[in-house]
Amino acid sequence: MAMMVVWASFILAIGSALLFLLGLRAQRRAMVLEERLARFGHRPPSLDDLELQLPFRQRVLYPFFERLARLVVRFTPGASLERIQQRLVEAGLAGSMRPGTFIGIQVVLTLGLGVLGAFPFVSGSGPALYRVGLPFVMGALGWVLPRTWLSRRIAQRKRAIQRALPDAIDLLVISVEAGLGFDQALLRVVEKWDNELTKEFAQTLSEMRMGLPRRQALRDLARRVNVDELNVFIASLVQADQLGVSVSQVLRAQANQMRLRRRQRAQELAQKAPIKMIFPMVFLIFPALFVVILGPAVPRIIEAFR
């Protein structure tokens, strides 16, 4: 009886082990089948899917503005288009907006605000000069607003690059003196920070990887950014490359100059602060003080002159 129990337990253990192995094999086969289905069932995104992934302004608004601006672009001088293209590059919008798109935005705003300003002329309300001049004033405002916005964006981007440039040059100096080449040091700066300057450095590195000479890539960087400090820095690097001067010495000298310029810029802003504070004090702070100080005396002065 005991032997039968032992044999039954042994057979049950072997059967359980076989069932367990069969289950693992079936599960592994199902996983392999799912992997194959996922591999061959994956469909690359179509052009429509890629287009729908773009923002609404790039899918709808910008093409509409470009179609509207084609008639205006035909009569626009080439020098004006090149100037607008350069300003878009300086604003960091060259990849998302073309000169035709920008001109289309100006045309839409000019016509839209001009029509909006023509409502008093149609309704006949208000003085004649107001009814006649308001559409032209609103139209001119619609033409100027995009240019003002672009100028502000360029100024903000240049200030951000000016603030980031001294620290970037310091890191370049440390990396080059540690034994890295200039390209590797530039890559180190790109990996360290994520700002407007490092984006431009990354584009320069991409151009050099595609075979563009370093001097030309650096000149293109100076043309895109158009910041005085960066122009001087790149001109020094190009000249050092042409004359065979050590890059580390040039970087060290430029780092000292950048620190000095940053200190001078901070002192200049500090000296401008009192002048900028005059207008808020005269028009906001002083009237409130006069009301508090002279307010109780006003009724007595009025009674005295009665």
Q: What is the mean pLDDT of residues 78-88?
A: 83
> Does 83 or 66 have the greater pLDDT score?
83
Q: Supply the mean pLDDT for the chain.
A: 76
Host domain of residue 153: 54-158
Question: What's the pTM?
Answer: 0.67
Q: Model confidence over 183-240: pLDDT tens digits? A: 888 888 888 888 888 888 888 888 888 888 888 888 888 888 888 888 888 888 888 8
Residue after which a domain boundary falls, among 134, 158, 182: 158
Q: Using pLDDT thresholds of 50, 70 and 90, give the confidence band for residue 174.
A: confident
Per-residue H/E/C for the chain: CHHHHHHHHHHHHHHHHHHHHHHHHHHHHHHHHHHHHHHHHCCCCCHHHHHHCCCHHHHHHHHHHHHHHHHHHHCCCHHHHHHHHHHHHHCCCCCCCCHHHHHHHHHHHHHHHHHHHCHHHHHCCCCHHHHHHHHHHHHHHHHHHHHHHHHHHHHHHHHHHHHHHHHHHHHHHHHHHCCCCHHHHHHHHHHHCCCHHHHHHHHHHHHHHCCCCHHHHHHHHHHHHCCHHHHHHHHHHHHHHHHCCCHHHHHHHHHHHHHHHHHHHHHHHHHHHHHHHHHHHHHHHHHHHHHHHHCCHHHHHHHHCC
Residue after which a domain boundary falls, among 136, 158, 180: 158
CATH of the domain at 206: 1.20.81
Q: Is 173 found in the same domain as 235?
A: yes
* Domain presence at residue 121: yes
Whether pLDDT at 249 is above 50? yes
Q: What is the mean pLDDT of residues 251-269?
A: 84
Whether pLDDT at 77 is above 80? no
